[in-house]
Amino acid sequence: MIFFNNKSKKVSADAVGGVKMQTKSKAKSNFDLSRKNAWLLWLCQCLNISVIALELSTWMLAIIALSLAWQALLLHQGREKGNSLSKNKTVSGHTHRQNSRQNSRQGTNVSPIVLGIFALLGCVAIVITAKEVGILASMLHLLCFSYALKGFELRSRSDFYQLLLLGLFVLAASLIFRQDLAFSLITFALLVLTLAVLLQFFSFEKTFVTNIKVVVILLCQSAILAIVLFLVFPRLSPFWQVPLAKSAETGLSDTVKPGDIANLTRSTKLAFRADFGQQKVPNYSQLYWRAMVLEEYDGRQWSRQHKFTRNKTAAAAKNFSFDNSATGVSPLSYQVLVEPSFQKYLFALAPSVVTGDAKGIQAQADHTFNNSKIISQAKSYRLTSYLTAPLTLELTKQSRQLNLSYPQGSNPRLEQLALQLQHNYVDVQARAQAVLNIINKENYSYTLQPPLLKNNSLDQFFFDTQAGFCVHYASVFTFVMRASGSPARMVTGYLGGEYNGVTNTGDNTGKLANKGHLSIYQYDAHAWSEIWVEGKGWLRIDPTSSVDPERVNSGWSTQLLQQQSELNNDLFSLYRMKNIAWLNALRLQFDALDYQWTRWVIGFTTKQQYDLFKNWFGQMVSWKLALIIAVSLVISMSMLMLFLHLLNRSKTKPQSLTKWQILYQKSMAKLAKQGMDKPSSMTVNDFAKEVRQQCPELAIVFTRLSASYNRLCYQTLSTNEQEKLMLTMQQQYQHFIQVLKK
C-alpha cells in the first residue's frame, strides 16, 4: 500500500542522519511516507468505509475487505524486511533507514497489470449490477472501490493527496443516507482523523495526538464562520436531483403481502417524530399514524390505486376544510419531523389539514399526504387534526366499486363465511363485530414469526395456521367485509410512539406535557382496516385488538418484545438498552438532543432562516447580509492569525535537551576551554576530525563519544537500546574527562 517512492540520486556527504538532494526539483519529486503514517492512512481507509458499509453490496464489501487485507499484508512484509536489516550492525544509521525503506517498497510493489485487471473486473461488476441497485448505489460502489484500490499506487505526493481526498468524499457521501446527531459526530471524528494524518505527513516531529489537537482547534475556528453562513446565507435549492438508491428506501411499501410489515419489526430505525407542544398528548390507542390507503387486491397482495386515478380523486382533498364550531370537535395541532425515507408518503392523524408552510405537501382524497419530491432529507411540517370527526361522509360510485372488488374464487372458504355473515347480520357494524368475535374466541395468536403461506392464501391463514401479524388479520378482515358486500379497505402506517419528556403526573400515558416529543420507530409499523357505514363514513376497525388488545391499547406485549429482541440483528438494539435503567435514561437524553439537532440544524428551512434574521436584525436587506458575512470573516481570520502567532511563539521557545545532548554539550564546553570551539555550521563528524588533528591524545575517546551521540540522535532505537547506549556514552564521557585532565 505505502512505500512506493521514486528513486532519487544521492550525493556523498558526511552529515549524519540526512542526505541532501542534488536539486530542488528532485526534492519535490521525492515521496517518503513513514511506516507509522502508512498504518494510520490504512486505518483511515478502514474507518471511513465502515461508516458507509451498510449502503454497499455484500460482494463489494468482500472486494474492499480483500483489498485492505492485502495492503495490510504488504505493510507487514515491509516491516519484516526492515527488521531483518536492523540486525545488520555494519550498516550506518542513514544507510540503514534508506535500505530498509527501499526493501520495503520492493516487498509491497504490486504489478500494474495485476492491479489494472483487478480494477477492470470490479468496474464490470458495478456496471452489471447497476440496474439492480440503482444509480446512486452504483456511484457509491465506484467511489469506495476507487478509494480501496488507490492505496496500492502511492508513488508520489499527488497520489497521497488523492487518497485523502477520496476519503473526504466517502465521508461526505455517507451523509446522504444519515444525518442524525450520533452519525454526524462519528463523521466529524473521522474527518479530524483524516486531516490529522495529512498534518502528520508534514509535522512528523510532532506526536499524532498533538496533530489531532491542532486539527480540532482549526476546525473549531472555522466553525464560527460556518455557523454564520449557515444562519444568514441564502438557502438555495440544489441544481440537480440526487439519484435514488433502491437500497436506500426505508419504511412501508406501496404493496403489502401478509407478513411484510412483520419484517419492519427487526429495524430500530427512527421513522419520524411528533411534537404536540403544551397540548394533551392523545392516548396510545388514538395514535394511528396514517401513511397509505391500500384499496386494490389481486388475491396475493394489497396496493394503492393507480397514480392516474389517485391524482384524479385527490382534487377534492385540496379544498378540504373542517368547521369545528358546529360540531364542537377540538382541534389538535402538532409538528411532524420526518426522517429521510427516500419515499414520498407522509404521516398524519386523520382527518388532518396542513397548517403553516404547506409547500410541496399534496393532500389526497383518502386523508393521506404525499410530498411532491422524494424525502431525501429531514422534512418538517405542521398539521391540525380532528380525531373525533368522521372521515369522508360521501362515497363515490367509483370508490364503492373499487372497495368491493376482489378476485372471485381466490379464497373460497372465506367467501363462503362472508356469505353466511351477510345472511346473518344485515347491519354492517354488527357483521364486522361478528368477524372480530371469531378472531377473539378461536385459537388465534399474534406473532412476529408467522408460518409461511402458500401463495399468500388468506384461507390457509384463517382456517389452518391461525398465527399471524397485523397485516394477516387486517387482510382477512378486509377481504371478508368486501366479500359480504360491505366496502372495506386496508390502511398502513404506524401505531403509538415513545414519549420522551416530562408530564405533570410523571408518567408517559398521554397527560398534559410540559416538554417533550413522540418518537415513532420502524418497529411501530402497523396495519388496520376501514369499513364504510352509511351516515358515518369510513370507520377504523383494528382486528389486532381482538387477538392482542395490549398491542393496540398500550404498546407491545412482553412476549412480542422478547420476539423482537431475538429477531433484531442490531447489537445495540433499543430494546436491549431499555432493559437497563441508567442506559435507557441516557438513551432518552440523547434522543432529546438528537431531536433538537434534527429540528434546528437538519430541518432548518428558508422560512425559519427568514424569521430568525428578521427577529435579530429587522427587515432583511442585502447590505446587512453582506456586513454580517464580512464581520464573521474578519473575526475568523483574526482568530486564525492569533492561533498561528501563538503557535510560532511556542516553536521559538527553547526545548528541553535530552541526556545525550547535555553530555555532548558538556564535552564541547570542556574543549572550548582548551581553545577548540565548534562552529554551528560544522557537523559532528567534521568536528571530531578537527579534534583528532589538533589533539591526537583525544582522538579515540572523542570519536567514540561522537559516534554514540550520532546514533542516539539519528538512529531508530528501542527503549532498551537507548538506555544501554546512553550508559555507554556516560562511560565514554568519564573516560574523555580523565584523558582531558592528563
Asked if residue 3 lies in contact with residue 38, where contact means CB atoms within 8 angstroms, the answer is yes
Are 629 and 696 in contact, with CB atoms under 8 Å apart? no
H-run or E-run covering 609: helix 606-617
Q: Nearest to residue 195, comparing CAs of 235, 221, 161, 224?
A: 161
Helix (H) or strand (E) holding 355: strand 352-355
Question: Is there a contact between 447 and 472 (Cβ–Cβ < 8 Å)?
Answer: no
Q: Are 8 and 29 in contact (CB under 8 A)?
A: yes
C-alpha–C-alpha distance, residues 449 and 131, integer Å? 32
- Alpha-carbon distance of 1 to 67, in angstroms, equals 10
Cα–Cα dist 549/547, whole Å: 6
Q: What angle do CA 578, 582, 584 make, to 5 degrees?
A: 30
What residues pair up with 525 in beta bridges, in sequence order?
Answer: 494
Q: pTM surpassing 0.75? A: no
490 sits in the region (left: phi over 0; alpha: psi -120 to 50; else beta) called beta
DSSP 184: H
Task: Give me 493's grid cell.
Answer: 402506517
Indicate the SS3 state at residue 411. coil
As a whole number of angstroms, the distance between CA 428 and CA 530 comes to 12
Q: Which three cell numbers stand for residue 595?
A: 431531536
CA distance 124 to 618: 58
pLDDT of residue 45: 96
Buried-exposed string 249-263: b where 16+ CB fall within 10 A, e elsewhere: ebbbbeebbbbbbbe
Return the axis-axis angle of helices 135-150 and 35-50, rounded to nearest 10°: 170
Parallel, antiparallel or unpaired: strands 332-338 and 270-275: antiparallel
The rounded distance, in Å, linking the Cα atoms of 268 and 337 is 17
Angle subtended by helix axes 181-202 and 157-174, to nearest 10: 170
Per the CB < 8 A criterion, the answer to whether 598 and 526 are in contact is no
Tell me which H or E stretch contains 445: strand 445-446
What secondary structure does DSSP assign to 533-567, as a single string?
ETTTEEEEE-THHHH-HHHHHTS--HHHHHHHHHH
Cell of 173: 457521501
Nearest-10 crossing angle of helices 659-673, 699-714: 150
Q: Which residue has the cell 556514552?
A: 729
Q: Show the CA angle centred on residue 340, arms to residues 334 and 342, nearest 5°.
A: 125
Per-residue model confidence as pLDDT tens digits over 368-415: 999 998 888 888 999 999 998 888 888 999 999 999 999 999 999 999
Q: Quote the DSSP letter at residue 236.
A: P
Q: What is the pLDDT of residue 245?
A: 57
At 202 the three-state DSSP class reads helix
Count of residues in the chain: 742
* Residue 100 confidence (pLDDT): 43
> Which residues does the chain have with pLDDT short of 50?
1-29, 85-86, 89-108, 308, 312-319, 325-326, 506-507, 509-514, 571-572
What whole-number distance in Å separates Cα of residue 260 and Cα of residue 300?
A: 12
Q: Where are the domains of the chain?
A: 24-205, 250-597, 606-652, 659-741
- Predicted pLDDT at 337: 94
Strand, coil or helix: 89: coil
Chain CA centroid to CA 60, Å = 18
The type of residue at 399 is S
In one-letter notation, the amino acid at residue 560 is L
Q: How many CA atoms lie within 13 A of 588 on its CB side?
A: 17
The pLDDT, as a whole number, for residue 224 is 76
Cell 457509491 belongs to residue = 140
Cβ atoms within 10 A of the Cβ of 310, count?
Answer: 18
Grid coordinates representing 466 are 391461525
Half-sphere exposure of 107 (CA within 13 A, CB side): 19
Per-residue pLDDT, 688:
86
Q: Are 518 and 273 in contact (CB under 8 A)?
A: yes
- Per-residue confidence (pLDDT) for residue 680, from 0 to 100: 78
Q: What are phi and psi of 658, to 5 degrees?
A: -80, 170
Which three three-digit cell numbers place residue 735? 573516560
DSSP collapsed to 3 states, 103-146: HHHHHHCCCHHHHHHHHHHHHHHHHHCHHHHEHHHHHHHHHHHH
DSSP at 462:
I
Look at residue 629 in the predicted model and tell me its pLDDT.
73
| CB neighbourhood size of 300 (10 A) | 15
Task: Find the farthest-apart pair of alpha carbons in the chain and give their distance in angstroms, rounded.
Answer: 129
